[in-house]
């Protein structure tokens, strides 16, 4: 099971040896093939949008990009959602630019801030990937514009089958690692709890939800971690984890369920804002 921040995919390293027989080559080939199949069957904690499309510019003003690198040549690390002009909600396993569309260009509407503070949910369990939430305080706060805006928090949890959208700059191929410069969007639906829990052998907790498509081929992936799952204009999920090979049939993406922690989000922001304003 793996989280979904971008990182080099596993590679196999071999010593330089002289092989004297065709039989040994054959054994080596089939051994690598066998273990590669086993590797690809493992679950992963990196996230991505696969099977999606280029988002329309400024169509996701709440989308945050947690990046490294230099302006005009950012490298994606995680995604996030602006829930307050001074605060971004992301995944706890991520460690900010707003108003971005193309990471390889300096864009007139972009706002890039330092991270002043990161607050992980007190119940976060890294091993189980449970309660995978983190709030990031921005310095300076964001300026609300056409390209940068806050998302709305839910007042109830989403229904099974509800249609939602995901977005981010995660890899668009799996298990290969191909990061797009432009933000990708995809349409998915909420998967019933029992169905998803069965697919992941009982690992789905009450603070997780699943979303995908029945036929596979569309999913978040490595690099999309922390990004938004939005249903009817409400932030319902935070990209968290899934299979190592993304977008497999029968294995939807797993998200941290936002409806469970709205009180924590609101109280944390309120308390910290009062401390800094006072």
Say if residues 230 and 51 touch (Cβ distance below 8 Å).
no
Residue of 44, 174, 225, 240 marked active site: 225
Q: How far apart are CA 65 and CA 239, in angstroms?
A: 13
Question: How many whole angstroms from its chain centre is CA 20?
Answer: 47
Asked if 206 is an active-site residue, the reply is: no
Q: Is 116 exposed, middle or buried (0-12, 13-18, 19+ CB in 10 A)?
A: middle
Q: Give the number of other CB atoms < 10 A from CB of residue 16.
A: 4
Say if residues 218 and 199 touch (Cβ distance below 8 Å).
no
Asked if 130 is an active-site residue, the reply is: no
DSSP codes, 89-107: EE-TT---EES-SBTTS--
Residue of 93, 121, 167, 207 marked active site: 93
Residue of 130, 132, 219, 224 marked active site: 132
Asked if 70 is an active-site residue, the reply is: no
Q: How far apart are CA 135 and CA 120, in angstroms?
A: 6
Closest CA to 66 of 88, 85, 47, 44: 88
What are the residue numbers of the active site? Answer: 93, 132, 225
């Amino acid at each position: 099971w793996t989280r979904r921040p971008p990182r080099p995919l596993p590679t196999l390293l071999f010593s330089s040896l002289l092989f004297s027989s065709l039989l040994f080559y054959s054994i080596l080939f089939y051994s690598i093939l066998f273990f590669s199949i086993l590797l690809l069957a493992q679950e992963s904690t990196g996230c991505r949008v696969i099977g999606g499309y280029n988002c329309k510019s400024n169509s996701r003003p709440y989308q945050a990009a947690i990046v490294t690198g230099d302006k005009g040549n950012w490298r994606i690390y995680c995604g996030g959602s602006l829930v307050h002009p001074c605060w971004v909600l992301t995944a706890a396993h991520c460690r900010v630019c707003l108003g971005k569309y193309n990471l390889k260009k300096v864009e007139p509407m972009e706002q890039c801030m330092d991270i002043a503070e990161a607050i992980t949910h007190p119940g976060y369990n890294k091993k189980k990937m449970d309660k995978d939430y983190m709030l990031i305080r921005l310095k300076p706060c964001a300026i609300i514009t056409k390209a940068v805006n806050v998302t709305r928090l839910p007042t109830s949890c989403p229904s099974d089958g509800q249609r939602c959208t995901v977005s981010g700059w995660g890899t668009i191929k799996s298990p290969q690692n191909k990061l797009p410069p432009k933000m990708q969007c995809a349409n998915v639906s909420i998967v019933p709890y029992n169905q998803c829990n069965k697919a992941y052998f009982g690992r789905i907790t009450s603070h997780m939800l699943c979303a995908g498509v029945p036929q596979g081929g569309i999913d978040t992936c490595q690099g999309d971690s922390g990004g938004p799952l939005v249903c009817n204009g409400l932030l319902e999920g935070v990209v968290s984890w899934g299979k190592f090979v993304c977008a497999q049939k029968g294995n939807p993406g797993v998200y941290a369920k936002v409806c469970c922690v709205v009180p924590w989000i609101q109280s944390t922001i309120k308390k910290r804002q009062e401390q800094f304003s006072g």
